[in-house]
Amino acid sequence: AVNRMPLIAGNWKMNLDHLQTVAFIQKLHWSLRDGGHTEGTVDVAVFPPFTDLRTAQTLIDADKIPFALGGQDLSAHDSGAYTGEVSGAFLAKLDCRYVIIGHSERRQYHSETDEVVGSKVQAALRHGLVPVICVGETAEDLEEFGASAVPVSQLNVALESVPADAEIVVAYEPVWAIGSGQAATPDQAQDVCAKLREVVAAKLGADAAARTRILYGGSVKAANIASFMREPDVDGALVGGASLVVDEFSSIIRYQK
């Protein structure tokens, strides 16, 4: 995490309606304040369901809450006859800064291929959004190819045609660690994150590799976040389950204390 601003990102998946989102954001903000959190030491981003974004934006804006917003997915298209899809233009209009792309649940349940992920990365960049590109191996991949081969190849495809000066975030999320309670070890995370940084260097150049934040995700909680953050190539975390519990997520954000 040398010279890179840490990023703690909460992926709420299909949880919290817009009223629950308002209550959650307020409680998280108070919990951080009461816990002595120093603003500006860590970037915090939350990824609510699409239907919550407008309310979350209004609250964050009115109360000057220092959380960035992001979508959990976006369409590869900008507008038109794509029933049910949400365009990057709409996310940008709601002040979203980030968008998660290629989460393993999208790859698994919505058959998103590496090529689809690549076209969504292009869509995000067209609309000034920072793509949070998720890569990671399944338990079967791990057995067959080891930890890094699949995420490295996924990232290679996702970064095709990405300009060297684009801001991107990469999230290494071993599928076997997501929601399983069985996180990777900090060593394992460091090893793959370092290889992913080499991919960024090869595709986008050394400056981009030095600047790009690479997150670890998979059963991150308050008890293990600091051990990941000590690793030089882990610049933050993408948090699922633990981002839905105010005190737990607040402790994760305050990992430096």
Q: Are strands 43-47 and 236-239 parallel, antiparallel or unpaired?
A: unpaired
Residue nearest to ligand PEP (CB): 240
Q: 18 an active-site residue? A: no
157 touches 115 (CB < 8 A): yes
State yes or no: 30 annotated in a binding site.
Answer: no
Q: Which is nearer to ligand PEP, 204 or 253 (CB)?
A: 253
Residue number, 121 or 175, with CB nearest to ligand PEP: 175
**Is 181 among the annotated ligand-binding positions?**
no
- The residue (of 196 and 242) whose beta carbon lies closer to ligand PEP is 242
- Of 67 and 172, nearer to ligand PEP (C-beta) is 172
How far, CA to CA in Å, does 148 sit from each of 24, 136, 213, 249?
36, 8, 18, 28
Structure token pair of residue 132: 């949070």
Residues 172 and 184: their CA atoms lie apart, in Å, by 10
Query: How far is it, in rounded angstroms, from Cα 94 to Cα 162?
Result: 24
Residue 18 CA, chain-centre distance (Å), reads: 21
Q: Is 88 annotated as a binding residue?
A: no
Output the smallest distance, CB 215 to ligand PEP, in A.
Answer: 9
Minimal distance, residue 15 CB to ligand PEP, in Å? 11
Least distance to ligand PEP from the beta carbon of 238, Å? 5
Q: Which residues bind ligand PEP (CB under 6 A)?
A: 11, 173, 178-179, 217-220, 238-242
Spot the catalytic one: 105, 112, 137, 173: 173
Asked about 173 being catalytic, the answer comes back as yes
Catalytic entry in 29, 37, 103, 231: 103
Asked if residue 12 belongs to a known ligand binding site, the reply is yes
43 SS3 class:
strand
The helices-and-strands tally (H runs, E runs) of the chain is 11, 8
- Amino acid identity, residue 170? V
| Known binding-site positions for substrate | 11-13, 179, 219, 240-241
Active site residues: 103, 173
